[in-house]
Each structure stands twice: as structure tokens, then as C-alpha cells.
């Protein structure tokens, strides 16, 4: 049973890029354990931009081609008023409310419009909590009341996690994800950034050090596999006090560089160069 579960996990993300060789075409069909590893494969092996829908797996020659495909095959993930698209439907709804309010449907307006100030909000009750408390039902008010601050907040769990909890922070450059549990950031490093087992404990030591506030000076840590010019006897882990990546390492690249749009750190899936993962932490190795 365990081997079957492992096999399913390994084949979770499949590359469906079309390759051409000797005049014939075929589908790649190579499987990867994480979305990041599949994205790196598609960018570096096939030189194609991946479809934003995680289960799709197809690649295209340009962002414009991706958008055309998204409009045809995954229209619920596209904005009808511009070329914006996302792998998360809720992000598309938030985008439309913020940038295309005049194009939303009557059904959407009835769902997201504030009856008092007539502004549009994805989280209408959260808006009530901060602007029109009297519109909140008595049974709803406890869901938005912060006892420590003595005020209403739109997202109580997120507020308590970010303001009243010492958080575990992902130390990768350009990734600002925060977690309330050490196990959560550990899973994030494995699943989102494809940190390999040999490097995982080193990175987690950095996370613990920053969380415990024992750090007292800036440090840049480059973690990754050695480049093709590196010798086999060299360690895959190296540290440097410089902001620049060490020789043989490539800088971190965000997915926003590919699609031209930026998202919150909660929504963005990072793209990691396989030869290096630069980390920026505040502290020193002990």
C-alpha cells in the first residue's frame, strides 16, 4: 500500500509538452513530484511556458499563447476584461472586483456589493467588520473580534498569526511565506521549493535560528546542487557573506517574471533554478 501511495505522489504532475523528433511528434509524459520541478523541466528542456492550471501540464511558446489556451480551455481562470489569468479562481474574482467593477454580472454584484457604501468586496463580512460593524450579525461578531487589540479585524486568524504569533518564515530570497508551525514551513520547503533531503536540515536550522531571534548579523546562504563545472568532491552546500550567488550558482527567479503579474506570497508558486536556491537570512551560522 505504501509503495502505491508513493508511486501516485511521484506521478502527481505530468509534463504534456509536445516534442518533435525525426519528423514525428510525441507527448513528453514525464512525471514530477512537485509543480516546481515540472515547471523547471518545461522551461529548461522544452523552452516552453507552462499553462497556469496545475493539472494541465501543457507548454506554449509565449505568454500570449498561454493566455489564448487559458481562454479556450480554462476560461474560469481568466479575466474577461484583460489578459490577466491565475491558477486560483478566487484570485481572478478579486482581480475583476478591483479592476473591472463595471463588468461584473448582477449576480456577482448582489454577492459582493456593500449595501451601505455600495463598494465591492470579495470578503463582504470582513468589510463590515472594519467599516460597518452594525451590519454584522451578533453571532458573527466574535469571528472578527481580536481580544488582544480590542478591535474588529477583517481576517482574524491571519491577524493573530501575523501580529500575535512568533512565525516561522521561509528563508528563500523573494519568498515571504510565513507559517505558525515548524512542520508547515518544512513541508513548504519540500513541496514548493523542492529542497532535497541533503539540504533540508541545514535550511531548517536557519529557519529555527531566525525564529528563536538568536541571529545578530546578515548572512546569505546559497543552497543547491553544484553547477556542471563543479568537481564531484565539492560539497553541494556553500555559504558566503556576499549578496551575489557563489560561482556556479544561478539567482532565484520568480514566476511573476514569466507571466508579468504579481501575486501575494500566499498565492504565488515560486520557480527555482535547479542549480541553486539563494537564501537570505539574518544571523550567522553557529
Q: List, for residues 154-179, the tens digit of each pLDDT value.
A: 888 888 777 777 678 888 877 878 88
- Which residues lie across from 179 on neighbouring strands? 168
pLDDT at 27 over 90: yes
CA 78/CA 93 separation, integer angstroms? 9
Does pTM surpass 0.75? no
CA 202/CA 223 separation, integer angstroms? 9
**In the block, residue with C-alpha cell 453571532:** 139
Q: What values do phi and psi take at 117, rounded to 5?
A: -105, -5
Q: Which spans in the chain are helix H?
A: 2-10, 35-44, 63-73, 89-99, 106-112, 124-131, 138-141, 156-163, 182-191, 197-211, 256-259
pLDDT at 193: 85
User: In this structure, what C-alpha cell is assigned to residue 31?
Assistant: 512525471
The winner for highest mean pLDDT among 2-16, 179-193, 253-267 is 179-193
Residue 165: DSSP 8-state? S
Say if residue 240 is exposed, middle or buried (CB neighbours under 10 Å; 0-12, 13-18, 19+). Answer: middle
Q: Are 63 and 49 in contact (CB under 8 A)?
A: yes
Q: What values do phi and psi take at 106, rounded to 5?
A: -55, -35
pLDDT at 148: 83
CA 16/CA 30 separation, integer angstroms? 8
**Domain residue ranges in the chain:** 2-86, 104-163, 168-282
Q: Are 33 and 10 in contact (CB under 8 A)?
A: yes
Least confident of 28-32, 153-157, 185-189, 227-231: 227-231
Mean pLDDT of 45-54: 93
How does pLDDT run across 77-91, given as a tens digit for each residue? 999 889 999 999 999
Amino acid at each position: 500500500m505504501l509503495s502505491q501511495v508513493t508511486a501516485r505522489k511521484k506521478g502527481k504532475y505530468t509534463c504534456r509538452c509536445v516534442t518533435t523528433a525525426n519528423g514525428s511528434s510525441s507527448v513528453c509524459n514525464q512525471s514530477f513530484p512537485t509543480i516546481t520541478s515540472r515547471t523547471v523541466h518545461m522551461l529548461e528542456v522544452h523552452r516552453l511556458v507552462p499553462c497556469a492550471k496545475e493539472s494541465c501540464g501543457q507548454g506554449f511558446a509565449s505568454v500570449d499563447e498561454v493566455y489564448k489556451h487559458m481562454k479556450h480551455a480554462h476560461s474560469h481562470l481568466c479575466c474577461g476584461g484583460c489578459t490577466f489569468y491565475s491558477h486560483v479562481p478566487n484570485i481572478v474574482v478579486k482581480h475583476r472586483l478591483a479592476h473591472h467593477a463595471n463588468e461584473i454580472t448582477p449576480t456577482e454584484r448582489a454577492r459582493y456589493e456593500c449595501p451601505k457604501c455600495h463598494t465591492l468586496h470579495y470578503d463582504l463580512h470582513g468589510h463590515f467588520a472594519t467599516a460597518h460593524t452594525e451590519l454584522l450579525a451578533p453571532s458573527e461578531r466574535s469571528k472578527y473580534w481580536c481580544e488582544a487589540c480590542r478591535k474588529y479585524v477583517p481576517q482574524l486568524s491571519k491577524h493573530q498569526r501575523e501580529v500575535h504569533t512568533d512565525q516561522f518564515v521561509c528563508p528563500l530570497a523573494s519568498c515571504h511565506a510565513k507559517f505558525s508551525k515548524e512542520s508547515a514551513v518544512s513541508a513548504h520547503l519540500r513541496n514548493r521549493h523542492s529542497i532535497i533531503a541533503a539540504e533540508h536540515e541545514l535550511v531548517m536550522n536557519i529557519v529555527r535560528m531566525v525564529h528563536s531571534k538568536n541571529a545578530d548579523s546578515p548572512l546569505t546562504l546559497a543552497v543547491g546542487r553544484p553547477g556542471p563545472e563543479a568537481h564531484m568532491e565539492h560539497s553541494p552546500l556553500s555559504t558566503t557573506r556576499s549578496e551575489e550567488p557563489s560561482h556556479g550558482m544561478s539567482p532565484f527567479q520568480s514566476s511573476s517574471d514569466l507571466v508579468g503579474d504579481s501575486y501575494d506570497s500566499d498565492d504565488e508558486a515560486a520557480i527555482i533554478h535547479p542549480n541553486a536556491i539563494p537564501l537570505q537570512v539574518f544571523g550567522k551560522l553557529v
